[in-house]
Chain A
Amino acid sequence: MDDNGDIAVAIRGLTKRFPGVLANEAVDLTVRRGEIHALLGENGAGKSTLMSCLVGLYSPDEGHIEVATAGRSLRQVDIHSPRAASRLGIGMVYQHFKLVPNQTVAENIILGAEGVPFVPKMRDVEQAVGALADKYGLHVDPSALIWQLSVGLRQRVEILKLLYRGAEILILDEPTAVLTPQEADALGATLRGLADDGKAIIFISHKLGEVLAFSDRITVLRDGKNVATLATKDADKPGLAELMVGRPVLFRADRDAREPGEVVLSCDGVSANDDRGIRALSDVTFSVRSGEIVGVAGVTGNGQAELAEVVTGLRKPTKGKVALHGEDVTGKSARRFIDRGVAHVPADRLGMGLAGDLPLTDNFIMKRYRRAPVSAGPFIDSSAVADLSRTYVDRFRVLTPSIKTLARNLSGGNQQKAILAREIDAGDRAEGIPFIVAAYPTRGLDVGAIETVRSALLEERLDGAAVLLLSEDLDELFVLSDRLIVLHDGEVMGIVASADATKERIGLMMAGEAT
């Protein structure tokens, strides 16, 4: 490959500092046309900051950026705003989509685009969008409203938005974090198609599997530095993990055999509706015992979210019975569930798990502020809060400037670690065996953090906790769970011991074929 001729973007010696943090240090990165370049690194390694410089959200303190787009050769550019980046043909799909839910696909696509007349001709836009969609296999109805679309389709809209603006360099920030495995595969194919058409794709991820599957070259960032750029064909999982973390990583979690104890949680014929009042769970019956991890497998949107809410008291079942330690708690308040030792790692971290604009200390005491030592009568003891917070930060290696830092300012992985630290410690063992509901606890985490989370869950299991684990990752479910519940369309398709199950069988059950 001709080295200079094909380069679409080159970052040269980029350094970016924040007060107290060196986010990027002398990073070099070149991305060629027609390649999918994976940017791999742990949370906080500087991936997002680097890309923010490329899309004009930050300005580098040192170094510069060269771009060859819009038919021009490689030259140094000053990307001072997202609009400037857009004019240079650089666009980014963020992890949290920037779409207006009650506008149509076409309306979202022209929102903020340049050269759109004051009164746009929507039919022309829809045609243009349709043509782009056909060309790259990104099929979505341009007149559909965003809220009607699945997450996978919304992501397509984001990609179409960039293509409509003429982007030649596409950056995707952890695009598969919100997708099902099938959707992720489809995305991989789409990206390949875009690359074949001459686009340069930068793909931010910390999932080794998909990086190896989708990319042509891989750049690994660690502590803000570029530690390696290598061709994907020369890379393997353990090698990449070691580059990312800086030490060898074990991929297997050891689950000792253990005889489960008494039943901690049981659901008997439970049905529940979703937020729109449509039935999401039908006649679900299962139990979780002490010292056992029960995994819930299923394609996203088949009742898992509602199940997690029902067993934590956040959603009232329409039918059936929920019991904790043999006590009927159906329809009781979330507070009652918490008092009875129910911990919950929610799927939506900033939406439900954290108060983003409050300091970590406030977030850490969410489940414990009603009890000593955090509170004494109506008062909260701030030194006890600080002690507790430091314990959590140390135990789960939450990377934060201080315990007073706002939760919003932590990286996604550290937010998740903070939630986990809080929830694993939420149950008061004197009140009974804890029941932990972990919804997608490793979603969006890097290898190091995944290790921490998995071993914490296994440790809790050994300690006698009852764990209900929701995950999209079948490998994870098999590694961690003693038994698996398979949900399809709100119904339990079967409950199997994970030792006796095969992925193929579970996959069929997830697709709704009872076995």
Chain B
Amino acid sequence: MIPWRVRLEKRLDPAWHLAWSVPVLSIIGALVASGLLLAMFGVDPIATYRAMWKGAFGGLFGGDLYSASETLVRATPLILASLAVSVAFKMKFWNIGAEGQLIMGGIAASGVALFLPAAAPGIPQNLVVYGVLMGGAAVVAGALWALIPALLRAYLNVNEIIVTLMLNYVAILWYSHLFTSVWNDPEGFGFPGSALFPEYTWFPKLFGTRLHLGLLLGLLAAVIVWVLFDRTRFGYEIRLIGDNPEAARFAGVSIFRNIVLVMLVSGGLAGLAGLSEVAGISHRLQQGLAAENGFTAIIVAWVAKLRPWAVVLVSVLLAAVFVGGDQIQITMGLPSSVAQVVQGVMLFFVLGGDIFSRYRLRVFRHVVDMAPAAEAN
């Protein structure tokens, strides 16, 4: 018989450093584990990781900024969408619909950019005015799309998971319909996409890369969400509802009002992610607007434990894994499934590793009598 035994014991007051050490160790563990997998398939793990690193952060320390900027470009919509999801999750309101809210935001911003200049030529045609108008439209559209499940839940107690999830597909279909037929560029030779937006609606680029204003928007949103969570009565109320709705009711908090408010904020943030993609990258409504960022956001929010600063960090890390994964397909000629395996193992370790921040491992040596287990049968 094994002379020792390992068991998990709950930590009463988790030490502060666990918030850092556990995720870092989890990532190292993931790299080792996926390294073993890669080696089993005859791929050199070190070379693969090096290629991924170069793809994701390449010229970060000298050289060109291209790779690192691509990672941040990839992270931008993820940050906004993950913040959106975090706000709702903080109240344990399961908004699985960031994808659809993002798309609705993108549609609304595109609508303004495509049709407002002709409809209202009197409006000054510059970035500030159009940025505000498109931003407003995106926020309102995302928020209204999120309002549907909020009202259904608040009035009729309809499960929000189902409604938000299904509304994603409604949004996706509308959006496909728009850019392939109704809003299709008449001069686009049937290419699926709207006309290009007027240039004054484009978000300015940063550092001569594809990085754009949307990243700053995301960082600003992270700060605002942090203040909202940590420093306001509204944040307190959603925390209270999230932990114990009965206690919130007891404290006189209106759950109805907060469901609506939280979903307006959540949907609005997701809408901003849509704006950031159309005004910052594609400059038209076309295929690949959401790129499943609304779903990936759920993972980010969870790994970040709904902390806004961690959302930013995790979004960048995950974006790096995505971009690096694309890179190994190109430079090493590996199939995309290899990158996905590495991504999957990483998420598995980070999410699974979380148990060690709540429990500790203890090793015991057996003492004299272990007999009952054996004699019981």
Contact = CB atoms under 8 A, between A and B. Distances in A.
Q: Are both chains from one complex?
A: yes
Contact of A59 (B232, B247, B254, B364): B364
Given A75-B368, A84-B372, A367-B251, A379 B239 contact: no
A379 B252 CA distance: 18
Contacts, number: 111
Interface string A344-360: 10100001111111100
A403 to B, nearest CB: 12
A378 interface: yes
B369 interface: yes
Interface in A302-342: 313-314, 333-339
B376 A353 contact: no
Interface in B338-375: 362, 364, 366-370, 372-373, 375
A380 B9 contact: no
A332 to B, nearest CB: 11
A254 interface: no
Majority secondary structure of chain A interface residues (helix, strand, loop or mixed)? loop
Contacts of A353: 247, 250
B247 A78 contact: no
Given A70-B372, A77-B372, A380 B233 contact: yes
A19 B13 contact: yes
Contacts of A346: 250
A358 B243 contact: yes
Interface in A87-108: 87-88
Nearest to B7: A80
A369 interface: yes
Contacts of B243: 355-358
A78 B233 contact: no
Interface string B240-252: 1001101111111
A357 B305 CA distance: 14
Contacts of A313: 252
B236 interface: yes
B12 interface: yes
Contacts of B247: 352-355, 366
Nearest to A335: B252
Interface in B43-102: none
Given A59-B7, A78-B366, A338 B240 contact: no
A370 B233 CA distance: 7
B236 A78 contact: no
B231 A380 contact: yes
B240 A355 contact: yes
Contacts of A88: 372
A356 B13 CA distance: 14
B372 A401 contact: no
Contacts of A375: 233
A10 to B, nearest CB: 14
B236 A338 contact: no
Interface string A55-91: 0001100001000001000011110110010011000
B250 A64 contact: no
A460 interface: no
A70 B372 CA distance: 9
A70 B377 CA distance: 13
B246 A352 contact: yes
A64 B368 CA distance: 10
B369 A75 contact: yes
Contacts of B240: 355, 358, 362, 366
B14 to A, nearest CB: 10
Nearest to A78: B367
A77 B253 CA distance: 52
A375 B246 CA distance: 22
Contacts of B231: 379-380, 382
Contacts of B370: 78
Contacts of B233: 369-370, 375, 378-380
Interface of B: 5, 7, 9, 11-13, 231-236, 239-240, 243-244, 246-254, 362, 364, 366-370, 372-373, 375-376
10 contacts: A76-B369, A78-B368, A78-B370, A88-B372, A334-B251, A352-B250, A354-B244, A355-B240, A375-B233, A382-B231
Given A77-B367, A78-B364, A334-B252, 18 more contacts: A19-B12, A59-B9, A78-B369, A84-B373, A87-B376, A88-B372, A314-B250, A334-B250, A334-B251, A335-B253, A337-B252, A352-B244, A352-B246, A366-B250, A370-B233, A378-B232, A380-B235, A380-B236
